[in-house]
Amino acid sequence: MRSDAELIRSILYYCGEIQNNITDVGNDIEDFIDSRMCQHACSFCIEQIGRNVKDLSKELTDRYNEVPWSEIAGMRDIIAHRYHRIIIDRIWATITENIPVLKESCEKILYELERS
């Protein structure tokens, strides 16, 4: 079983991959809509983030309860099981609004985990 620190590092990796994908195609929704490859790559990253979140210890998720862990896991489930129902606008909002906040939170969490 992977440690919380390893899982947080993995989440940070996928947050970075999302940011790289968006930078590669352009930073607006029209560019995102025009690139099915970017849509799929970002969706995969969101799914992996959710998978890692599901494996975090209850102790960590309780300690950092300001992070919407269950919503992140829920978005993973939507992508994994109901992809045909996903609205691109929702993925774009996740990428542009939630991922930067999650990345910042995980950087703080990892710093605190590595200090203790």
Please choose, from the candidates 40, 43, 17, 25, the residue with its C-alpha nearest in 3D space to the C-alpha of residue 103. 17
| Angle (nearest 5°) at CA 48 between 69 and 85 | 85
Residues 116 and 113: their CA atoms lie apart, in Å, by 5
> Does the annotation count 76 as an active-site position?
yes
Which tokens sit at 31? 């560019």
81 is catalytic: yes
Point out the catalytic residue in the list 81, 82, 84, 115. 81
Write out the catalytic residue numbers.
Answer: 76, 81
